[in-house]
A and B are shown apart, each in its own frame.
Chain A
Amino acid sequence: MKDDPYPSSAPTWSRAGFALGVKLALPILPGMIAFALACGATGARKGFSLIDMLWMNSLVYAGAAQMIAMEVWPDRLTGTTIAALAAITATINARMLLMGASLQPWLAPLPSWQVYPVLHLTTDPGWLIAMRYRIDGGNDAGVFLGGGVVIFVLWMAATSAGYGIGALISDPRAVGLDLVMPIFFAAMLIPLWQNAPRRWRRGLGWAVAASVALTFERLFHGWWFIIAGAVAGAVAEGFMEEAQ
């Protein structure tokens, strides 16, 4: 990741690149919209106001973290419980450090004031689209922006629609809506497993995550088991190569 093997001239920001980014994002939109609908419905079920949802959807703009945070949202918001919510959010979003790091060799020739605001639009699918385009030899930062903007706009629309639908359903439990988060998360496991660079390493990381999370859940009150399990598993998986 340190050396960028592709053209090192400064990327451009063209309208054609923007349009290409929009086009490249099309295949991921159905999945993203399903997730956004589910996220909005969770907000309605948990009793968030529409204004608070709009702030969260645009400022936090990280569906997986939002879904878990809303699920574990404390009844009493104090400095301590807000710190716990922030810690969970940070753990879930720490993966984005890697996305930013992999964009840097490409976008570094651009002035910082152009790059840093656009980085707020970083999402898993948006990043994936831009990196695939870059690996194919592309050098138009407009692709990252175009994909980012279309995903953001549709995310805002679909989460709001999901909020409206969720607010209409009187008994979310009867139709299984309270399980939307675990369902989505479990479905993510299939590609995460299939795309693992070393499956035995991933399996071991997951086993550590599972046992630490279950142990923490028995021993401690609250939702710290998510952070403990996730970090322990990731560290175990990351340290594995050296241990070989």
Chain B
Amino acid sequence: MNTDLGSSGALLAIIAMALVTYPMRAGGYWLMGHVPLTSRLRRILEALPGTVVVATVLPLLFREGIAAAAAIAVALVVTFIRRNDFIALVAGVGAAAAVRAMGL
């Protein structure tokens, strides 16, 4: 399990990612035809997108410091005012670049 897979490693990793993703796409469909999803399981799956974001972004915020905090704050404010991913992205990236240009 610890052998370096070298140049073929990236493709193998991509195949592994694909092999776990298709069952997520097809699995719910298949399962519904066989056993009903409980409402609890449904709520857990509904909650996942939000908790994935929180669990990913928050520790990164602590790791990456002021530039990341500024970028995320700006993106949140822009999204709150105008629901536009392009503007949020440009503004967030711009905020990070500005903070770094100031040497913070």
Given contacts A59-B14, A77-B12, contact A174 B100 (CB under 8 A): yes
Alpha-carbon distance between A184 and B56 when the two chains are bound, in angstroms? 12
Q: Which residue of chain B lies nearest to A123 when distances are taken between CB atoms in the complex?
A: B25
Find chain B residues with CB under 8 A from A214 CB: 58-59, 62
- Which residue of B54, B75, B93 is within 8 Å of A210 (Cβ)? B54
| B29 lies within 8 A of A115 (CB) | yes
- The size class of the interface chain A forms with chain B is 35 or more
| B50 lies within 8 A of A35 (CB) | no
- Any B CB within 8 A of the CB of A80: yes
- Which residue of B15, B27, B89 is within 8 Å of A183 (Cβ)? B89
| B100 lies within 8 A of A85 (CB) | no
Find chain A residues with CB under 8 A from B4 CB: 76-78
Q: How far is the CB of A152 from chain B (nearest CB, A)?
A: 13
| B28 lies within 8 A of A97 (CB) | yes
Alpha-carbon distance between A186 and B44 when the two chains are bound, in angstroms? 20
Interface centre among A186, A208, A210, A238 (most CB of B within 10 A): A186
Q: How far is the CB of A90 from chain B (nearest CB, A)?
A: 4
Hey, what's the 0/1 contact readout for A55-92 against B, CB within 8 Å counting as 1? Answer: 11001111011101100010011111111011101111
Q: How far is the CB of B87 from chain A (nearest CB, A)?
A: 9
- Which residue of A68, A107, A108 is within 8 Å of B56 (Cβ)? A68
| A93 lies within 8 A of B76 (CB) | no
Find chain B residues with CB under 8 A from A193 CB: 50
Find chain B residues with CB under 8 A from A98 CB: 28, 37, 42, 45-46
| B21 lies within 8 A of A93 (CB) | yes
Q: How far is the CB of B20 from chain A (nearest CB, A)?
A: 4
Find chain B residues with CB under 8 A from A52 CB: 10-11, 14
- Which residue of A35, A173, A182, A226 is within 8 Å of B61 (Cβ)? A182
Given contacts A176-B95, A209-B51, contact A187 B79 (CB under 8 A): yes
Find chain B residues with CB under 8 A from A226 CB: 52, 55-56
Find chain A residues with CB under 8 A from B104 CB: none
Alpha-carbon distance between A215 and B69 when the two chains are bound, in angstroms? 20
| B37 lies within 8 A of A237 (CB) | no
Hey, what's the 0/1 contact readout for B1-33 against A, CB within 8 Å counting as 1? Answer: 111111001111111111111101111111111
Q: Which residue of chain B lies nearest to A33 when distances are taken between CB atoms in the complex?
A: B86
- Which residue of B19, B85, B97 is within 8 Å of A34 (Cβ)? B85
Alpha-carbon distance between A176 and B91 when the two chains are bound, in angstroms? 10
Hey, what's the 0/1 contact readout for A37-53 against B, CB within 8 Å counting as 1? Answer: 01000000000110010
Q: How far is the CB of A84 from chain B (nearest CB, A)?
A: 10
- Any B CB within 8 A of the CB of A159: no
Find chain A residues with CB under 8 A from B39 CB: 241
Alpha-carbon distance between A189 and B22 when the two chains are bound, in angstroms? 26
Q: How far is the CB of A37 from chain B (nearest CB, A)?
A: 8
Question: Could you show 22 A-B contacts with beta carbons less than 8 Å apart?
Answer: A55-B15, A65-B21, A83-B16, A87-B20, A94-B45, A96-B28, A99-B28, A101-B31, A104-B29, A120-B22, A120-B26, A173-B100, A174-B101, A176-B93, A179-B93, A182-B72, A184-B85, A186-B57, A187-B88, A189-B53, A214-B59, A237-B47
